[in-house]
Structure 1
Protein backbone atom coordinates (compact mmCIF):
# COMPACT_ATOMS: atom_id res chain seq x y z
CA UNK A 1 0.00 0.00 0.00
CA UNK A 2 1.43 3.39 -0.99
CA UNK A 3 2.25 5.97 1.66
CA UNK A 4 -0.18 8.84 2.30
CA UNK A 5 2.22 11.23 0.52
CA UNK A 6 2.19 9.01 -2.59
CA UNK A 7 -1.61 8.76 -2.51
CA UNK A 8 -1.91 12.56 -2.21
CA UNK A 9 0.55 12.98 -5.08
CA UNK A 10 -1.40 10.49 -7.19
CA UNK A 11 -4.69 12.28 -6.44
CA UNK A 12 -3.17 15.67 -7.29
CA UNK A 13 -1.83 14.21 -10.52
CA UNK A 14 -5.26 12.89 -11.52
CA UNK A 15 -6.83 16.31 -10.84
CA UNK A 16 -4.11 18.05 -12.88
CA UNK A 17 -4.51 15.63 -15.81
CA UNK A 18 -8.28 16.15 -15.90
CA UNK A 19 -7.97 19.93 -15.56
CA UNK A 20 -5.27 20.19 -18.24
CA UNK A 21 -7.30 17.96 -20.58
CA UNK A 22 -10.41 20.10 -20.05
CA UNK A 23 -8.49 23.32 -20.65
CA UNK A 24 -6.86 21.89 -23.76
CA UNK A 25 -10.28 20.79 -25.01
CA UNK A 26 -11.64 24.31 -24.44
CA UNK A 27 -8.65 25.84 -26.27
CA UNK A 28 -9.13 23.41 -29.16
CA UNK A 29 -12.89 24.08 -29.27
CA UNK A 30 -12.44 27.84 -29.27
CA UNK A 31 -9.81 27.57 -32.01
CA UNK A 32 -12.07 25.41 -34.21
CA UNK A 33 -15.03 27.73 -33.54
CA UNK A 34 -12.94 30.81 -34.40
CA UNK A 35 -11.60 29.21 -37.58
CA UNK A 36 -15.08 28.12 -38.67
CA UNK A 37 -16.49 31.55 -37.89
CA UNK A 38 -13.71 33.27 -39.83
CA UNK A 39 -14.21 30.91 -42.78
CA UNK A 40 -17.98 31.34 -42.94
CA UNK A 41 -18.36 35.04 -42.11
CA UNK A 42 -14.98 36.46 -43.15
CA UNK A 43 -14.76 38.24 -39.77
CA UNK A 44 -12.90 37.24 -36.64
CA UNK A 45 -14.07 36.41 -33.15
CA UNK A 46 -12.09 39.03 -31.27
CA UNK A 47 -12.27 37.20 -27.94
CA UNK A 48 -10.99 33.81 -29.15
CA UNK A 49 -7.28 34.60 -29.08
CA UNK A 50 -7.53 36.37 -25.72
CA UNK A 51 -9.26 33.45 -24.03
CA UNK A 52 -6.70 31.02 -25.44
CA UNK A 53 -3.87 33.26 -24.22
CA UNK A 54 -5.31 33.18 -20.72
CA UNK A 55 -5.74 29.38 -20.71
CA UNK A 56 -2.48 28.36 -22.39
CA UNK A 57 -0.17 29.19 -19.45
CA UNK A 58 -2.29 26.87 -17.29
CA UNK A 59 -2.00 23.98 -19.73
CA UNK A 60 1.74 24.52 -20.20
CA UNK A 61 2.53 24.86 -16.49
CA UNK A 62 0.28 22.02 -15.32
CA UNK A 63 1.63 19.65 -17.96
CA UNK A 64 5.12 20.06 -16.48
CA UNK A 65 3.83 18.65 -13.20
CA UNK A 66 2.55 15.55 -14.99
CA UNK A 67 5.93 15.12 -16.68
CA UNK A 68 7.60 15.45 -13.27
CA UNK A 69 5.28 12.84 -11.77
CA UNK A 70 6.20 10.32 -14.45
CA UNK A 71 9.92 11.12 -14.53
CA UNK A 72 9.71 12.31 -18.12
CA UNK A 73 12.63 14.66 -18.47
CA UNK A 74 14.46 14.09 -21.74
CA UNK A 75 17.78 15.67 -20.76
CA UNK A 76 17.86 13.91 -17.39
CA UNK A 77 16.95 10.55 -18.94
CA UNK A 78 19.62 10.95 -21.60
CA UNK A 79 22.28 11.79 -19.01
CA UNK A 80 21.31 9.16 -16.42
CA UNK A 81 21.30 6.40 -19.03
CA UNK A 82 24.94 7.15 -19.91
CA UNK A 83 26.64 7.34 -16.52
CA UNK A 84 27.47 4.69 -13.90
CA UNK A 85 24.69 3.72 -11.48
CA UNK A 86 26.22 5.57 -8.49
CA UNK A 87 26.56 8.79 -10.50
CA UNK A 88 23.01 8.35 -11.81
CA UNK A 89 21.70 8.00 -8.24
CA UNK A 90 23.60 11.14 -7.20
CA UNK A 91 22.23 13.05 -10.20
CA UNK A 92 18.69 11.99 -9.31
CA UNK A 93 19.09 13.30 -5.77
CA UNK A 94 20.62 16.57 -6.95
CA UNK A 95 17.76 16.88 -9.42
CA UNK A 96 15.28 16.19 -6.59
CA UNK A 97 16.71 19.07 -4.56
CA UNK A 98 16.79 21.42 -7.55
CA UNK A 99 13.20 20.62 -8.52
CA UNK A 100 12.20 21.14 -4.89
CA UNK A 101 13.82 24.57 -4.93
CA UNK A 102 12.06 25.36 -8.19
CA UNK A 103 8.74 24.30 -6.67
CA UNK A 104 9.27 26.52 -3.63
CA UNK A 105 10.39 29.46 -5.81
CA UNK A 106 7.36 29.05 -8.07
CA UNK A 107 5.10 28.89 -5.05
CA UNK A 108 6.54 31.91 -3.22
CA UNK A 109 7.54 34.22 -6.05
CA UNK A 110 4.74 33.03 -8.32
CA UNK A 111 2.26 33.99 -5.61
CA UNK A 112 3.86 37.43 -5.28
CA UNK A 113 3.82 37.83 -9.07
CA UNK A 114 0.17 36.81 -9.18
CA UNK A 115 -0.74 39.40 -6.55
CA UNK A 116 1.14 42.11 -8.43
CA UNK A 117 -0.51 41.24 -11.76
CA UNK A 118 -3.26 43.77 -11.39
CA UNK A 119 -3.63 44.72 -15.04
CA UNK A 120 -6.70 43.68 -16.95
CA UNK A 121 -6.32 41.59 -20.10
CA UNK A 122 -8.54 42.88 -22.90
CA UNK A 123 -10.38 39.92 -24.42
CA UNK A 124 -12.85 42.07 -26.33
CA UNK A 125 -14.31 45.54 -25.98
CA UNK A 126 -16.76 44.23 -23.39
CA UNK A 127 -14.79 41.37 -21.79
CA UNK A 128 -11.74 41.79 -19.59
CA UNK A 129 -9.96 39.23 -17.42
CA UNK A 130 -7.62 39.98 -14.54
CA UNK A 131 -3.96 39.31 -15.22
CA UNK A 132 -3.98 37.30 -12.01
CA UNK A 133 -5.72 34.37 -13.69
CA UNK A 134 -2.88 33.34 -16.01
CA UNK A 135 -0.29 34.33 -13.37
CA UNK A 136 -1.97 32.01 -10.84
CA UNK A 137 -0.67 29.06 -12.87
CA UNK A 138 2.80 29.66 -11.38
CA UNK A 139 2.09 29.21 -7.66
CA UNK A 140 -0.35 26.38 -8.37
CA UNK A 141 2.35 24.60 -10.37
CA UNK A 142 4.84 25.17 -7.55
CA UNK A 143 2.38 23.71 -5.07
CA UNK A 144 1.83 20.62 -7.22
CA UNK A 145 5.62 20.20 -7.60
CA UNK A 146 5.96 20.29 -3.81
CA UNK A 147 3.12 17.79 -3.38
CA UNK A 148 4.77 15.41 -5.85
CA UNK A 149 8.17 15.79 -4.22
CA UNK A 150 6.73 14.82 -0.84
CA UNK A 151 6.34 11.35 -2.37
CA UNK A 152 10.15 11.06 -2.22
CA UNK A 153 13.15 11.04 -4.55
CA UNK A 154 12.07 7.80 -6.23
CA UNK A 155 9.57 10.02 -8.05
CA UNK A 156 12.38 11.34 -10.24
CA UNK A 157 13.48 7.91 -11.41
CA UNK A 158 12.85 7.74 -15.11
CA UNK A 159 10.21 5.26 -16.19
CA UNK A 160 7.65 4.80 -18.91
CA UNK A 161 4.49 6.86 -18.62
CA UNK A 162 2.68 4.11 -20.56
CA UNK A 163 3.71 1.45 -18.04
CA UNK A 164 2.71 3.72 -15.15
CA UNK A 165 -0.70 4.41 -16.64
CA UNK A 166 -1.25 0.71 -17.29
CA UNK A 167 -0.50 -0.01 -13.60
CA UNK A 168 -2.89 2.72 -12.50
CA UNK A 169 -5.69 1.59 -14.81
CA UNK A 170 -5.38 -2.14 -14.18
CA UNK A 171 -7.79 -3.25 -11.42
Structure 2
Protein backbone atom coordinates (compact mmCIF):
# COMPACT_ATOMS: atom_id res chain seq x y z
CA UNK A 1 0.00 0.00 0.00
CA UNK A 2 1.29 3.43 -0.93
CA UNK A 3 2.15 5.88 1.84
CA UNK A 4 0.05 8.44 -0.05
CA UNK A 5 -3.07 6.23 0.01
CA UNK A 6 -4.59 7.86 3.14
CA UNK A 7 -3.99 11.32 1.67
CA UNK A 8 -5.55 10.23 -1.62
CA UNK A 9 -8.64 8.95 0.22
CA UNK A 10 -8.78 12.25 2.14
CA UNK A 11 -8.50 14.12 -1.18
CA UNK A 12 -11.41 12.08 -2.53
CA UNK A 13 -13.44 12.83 0.61
CA UNK A 14 -12.72 16.56 0.35
CA UNK A 15 -13.74 16.39 -3.30
CA UNK A 16 -17.08 14.83 -2.33
CA UNK A 17 -17.63 17.61 0.23
CA UNK A 18 -16.82 20.21 -2.47
CA UNK A 19 -19.37 18.59 -4.79
CA UNK A 20 -22.03 18.73 -2.06
CA UNK A 21 -21.19 22.38 -1.31
CA UNK A 22 -21.47 23.28 -5.01
CA UNK A 23 -24.83 21.56 -5.26
CA UNK A 24 -26.03 23.35 -2.11
CA UNK A 25 -24.87 26.71 -3.49
CA UNK A 26 -26.61 26.09 -6.81
CA UNK A 27 -29.81 25.01 -5.06
CA UNK A 28 -29.65 28.07 -2.80
CA UNK A 29 -29.25 30.33 -5.84
CA UNK A 30 -32.14 28.62 -7.60
CA UNK A 31 -34.29 28.77 -4.48
CA UNK A 32 -33.65 32.47 -3.99
CA UNK A 33 -34.30 33.22 -7.67
CA UNK A 34 -37.45 31.08 -7.69
CA UNK A 35 -38.69 32.87 -4.57
CA UNK A 36 -38.20 36.19 -6.35
CA UNK A 37 -40.04 34.88 -9.40
CA UNK A 38 -43.01 33.59 -7.40
CA UNK A 39 -43.15 36.79 -5.35
CA UNK A 40 -43.19 38.85 -8.55
CA UNK A 41 -46.01 36.71 -9.98
CA UNK A 42 -48.03 36.86 -6.78
CA UNK A 43 -47.65 40.53 -5.88
CA UNK A 44 -46.49 42.30 -9.02
CA UNK A 45 -43.59 43.91 -7.15
CA UNK A 46 -40.03 42.70 -6.76
CA UNK A 47 -37.88 41.72 -3.84
CA UNK A 48 -34.80 43.86 -4.26
CA UNK A 49 -32.49 41.67 -2.20
CA UNK A 50 -32.92 38.34 -4.00
CA UNK A 51 -30.53 38.84 -6.91
CA UNK A 52 -27.85 40.41 -4.73
CA UNK A 53 -28.04 37.51 -2.31
CA UNK A 54 -28.04 34.86 -5.05
CA UNK A 55 -24.97 36.46 -6.64
CA UNK A 56 -22.92 35.90 -3.47
CA UNK A 57 -22.88 32.15 -4.17
CA UNK A 58 -21.16 32.53 -7.56
CA UNK A 59 -17.57 32.70 -6.23
CA UNK A 60 -18.19 29.54 -4.22
CA UNK A 61 -19.55 27.71 -7.23
CA UNK A 62 -16.74 28.91 -9.50
CA UNK A 63 -13.80 28.20 -7.22
CA UNK A 64 -15.06 24.89 -5.83
CA UNK A 65 -16.02 23.60 -9.26
CA UNK A 66 -12.47 24.44 -10.37
CA UNK A 67 -11.11 22.05 -7.73
CA UNK A 68 -13.64 19.38 -8.69
CA UNK A 69 -12.79 19.56 -12.37
CA UNK A 70 -9.07 19.34 -11.55
CA UNK A 71 -9.65 16.18 -9.51
CA UNK A 72 -11.36 14.51 -12.48
CA UNK A 73 -8.80 15.63 -15.06
CA UNK A 74 -11.25 17.99 -16.73
CA UNK A 75 -9.02 21.06 -16.71
CA UNK A 76 -7.51 22.68 -19.77
CA UNK A 77 -4.99 20.33 -21.35
CA UNK A 78 -3.24 19.98 -24.68
CA UNK A 79 -3.94 16.26 -24.84
CA UNK A 80 -3.34 15.75 -28.55
CA UNK A 81 0.06 17.43 -28.40
CA UNK A 82 1.10 15.72 -25.18
CA UNK A 83 -0.01 12.23 -26.27
CA UNK A 84 2.13 12.54 -29.40
CA UNK A 85 5.27 12.93 -27.27
CA UNK A 86 7.56 10.03 -26.43
CA UNK A 87 6.95 8.53 -22.97
CA UNK A 88 9.95 10.30 -21.37
CA UNK A 89 8.91 13.72 -22.64
CA UNK A 90 5.33 12.97 -21.68
CA UNK A 91 6.44 12.44 -18.08
CA UNK A 92 8.50 15.65 -18.15
CA UNK A 93 5.53 17.61 -19.56
CA UNK A 94 3.26 16.07 -16.93
CA UNK A 95 5.69 16.98 -14.16
CA UNK A 96 5.86 20.55 -15.44
CA UNK A 97 2.07 20.68 -15.62
CA UNK A 98 1.76 19.52 -12.02
CA UNK A 99 4.39 22.08 -10.98
CA UNK A 100 2.41 24.88 -12.67
CA UNK A 101 -0.77 23.69 -10.98
CA UNK A 102 1.05 23.64 -7.63
CA UNK A 103 2.36 27.16 -8.23
CA UNK A 104 -1.12 28.39 -9.12
CA UNK A 105 -2.57 26.76 -5.99
CA UNK A 106 0.18 28.24 -3.80
CA UNK A 107 -0.53 31.69 -5.25
CA UNK A 108 -4.25 31.22 -4.56
CA UNK A 109 -3.43 30.40 -0.95
CA UNK A 110 -0.85 33.17 -0.53
CA UNK A 111 -2.72 36.04 -2.15
CA UNK A 112 -6.15 34.66 -1.26
CA UNK A 113 -5.28 34.63 2.43
CA UNK A 114 -4.23 38.29 2.23
CA UNK A 115 -7.43 39.06 0.34
CA UNK A 116 -9.44 37.30 3.04
CA UNK A 117 -7.69 39.12 5.89
CA UNK A 118 -8.20 42.51 4.21
CA UNK A 119 -11.85 41.89 3.35
CA UNK A 120 -13.59 44.41 5.58
CA UNK A 121 -16.68 45.38 3.60
CA UNK A 122 -20.18 44.29 4.47
CA UNK A 123 -22.55 43.60 1.59
CA UNK A 124 -25.82 45.35 2.26
CA UNK A 125 -28.16 42.91 0.55
CA UNK A 126 -31.12 44.58 2.26
CA UNK A 127 -31.82 46.50 5.45
CA UNK A 128 -31.95 43.26 7.42
CA UNK A 129 -29.56 41.09 5.40
CA UNK A 130 -25.91 42.05 5.70
CA UNK A 131 -23.20 39.62 4.64
CA UNK A 132 -19.54 40.18 5.41
CA UNK A 133 -17.23 40.03 2.40
CA UNK A 134 -15.14 37.43 4.21
CA UNK A 135 -17.91 34.96 3.28
CA UNK A 136 -16.91 35.18 -0.38
CA UNK A 137 -13.21 35.91 0.17
CA UNK A 138 -12.45 32.71 2.11
CA UNK A 139 -13.18 30.54 -0.92
CA UNK A 140 -10.03 31.78 -2.69
CA UNK A 141 -7.42 30.37 -0.28
CA UNK A 142 -9.68 27.40 0.48
CA UNK A 143 -9.70 26.37 -3.17
CA UNK A 144 -5.91 26.73 -3.28
CA UNK A 145 -5.58 24.37 -0.32
CA UNK A 146 -7.92 21.86 -1.96
CA UNK A 147 -5.92 22.00 -5.20
CA UNK A 148 -2.70 21.41 -3.26
CA UNK A 149 -4.36 18.47 -1.54
CA UNK A 150 -5.47 17.02 -4.87
CA UNK A 151 -1.87 17.04 -6.07
CA UNK A 152 -1.31 13.89 -3.99
CA UNK A 153 -3.22 12.13 -6.79
CA UNK A 154 -0.18 12.73 -9.01
CA UNK A 155 -0.42 11.94 -12.69
CA UNK A 156 -3.99 10.71 -12.23
CA UNK A 157 -5.03 14.38 -12.35
CA UNK A 158 -3.81 14.68 -15.90
CA UNK A 159 -6.12 13.56 -18.67
CA UNK A 160 -3.36 12.17 -20.88
CA UNK A 161 -2.41 9.68 -18.15
CA UNK A 162 -5.93 8.38 -17.73
CA UNK A 163 -6.34 5.09 -19.57
CA UNK A 164 -9.97 4.76 -20.64
CA UNK A 165 -9.98 0.95 -20.33
CA UNK A 166 -8.49 1.07 -16.84
CA UNK A 167 -10.98 3.71 -15.75
CA UNK A 168 -13.92 1.64 -17.04
CA UNK A 169 -12.57 -1.46 -15.28
CA UNK A 170 -12.23 0.50 -12.01
CA UNK A 171 -15.81 1.78 -12.31
CA UNK A 172 -17.12 -1.75 -12.90
CA UNK A 173 -15.08 -3.06 -9.96
CA UNK A 174 -16.37 -0.28 -7.68
CA UNK A 175 -19.97 -1.03 -8.68
CA UNK A 176 -19.43 -4.75 -8.05
CA UNK A 177 -17.99 -4.06 -4.60
CA UNK A 178 -20.92 -1.80 -3.69
CA UNK A 179 -23.44 -4.44 -4.77
CA UNK A 180 -21.76 -7.07 -2.57
CA UNK A 181 -21.89 -4.83 0.50
Is residue 24 of structure 2 the alignment partner of residue 13 of structure 1? Answer: no
Shift of residue 47, structure 1, vs aligned partner:
1.8
Describe the SS at the equivalent of 2:56: helix
Size of the alignment, in residue pairs? 170
**CA-to-aligned-CA distance 1:74-120 (integer Å, 9 cap, x gap):** 44335434555444333221110011011111112101101101011
Describe the SS at the equivalent of 1:89: helix
Shift of residue 169, structure 1, vs aligned partner:
5.7
Whether the 8 Å CA contact 1:20–1:59 is kept in 2: the answer is: yes
Higher-RCO chain (CA-CA 8 Å, sequence separation at least 6): 1
Alignment of 1:130-145 (within 5 A): 130-145=132-147
User: Paired residue for 1:34, among 28, 33, 36?
Assistant: 36
Greater mean alpha carbon deviation, residues 87-96 or residues 10-19: 87-96
Q: Which residue of 1 aligns with 2:93?
A: 91
Cα distance in structure 2, aligned partners of 1:27 and 1:42? 21
Q: Which residue of 2 aligns with 1:45?
A: 47
Greater mean alpha carbon deviation, residues 78-87 or residues 61-70: 78-87
User: Paired residue for 2:124, among 122, 125, 133?
Assistant: 122
Describe the SS at the equivalent of 1:146: helix
Return 5+ residue gaps in structure 2 as ranges: none
Shift of residue 21, structure 1, vs aligned partner:
0.8
Superposition TM-score, scaled by structure 2 size:
0.82
Residue 39 and residue 20 in structure 1: after superposition, are their counterparts in 2 closer, same or farther (change >3 A)?
A: same
Residue 10 and residue 146 in structure 1: after superposition, are their counterparts in 2 closer, same or farther (change >3 A)?
A: same
- The Cα RMSD (Å) is 2.4
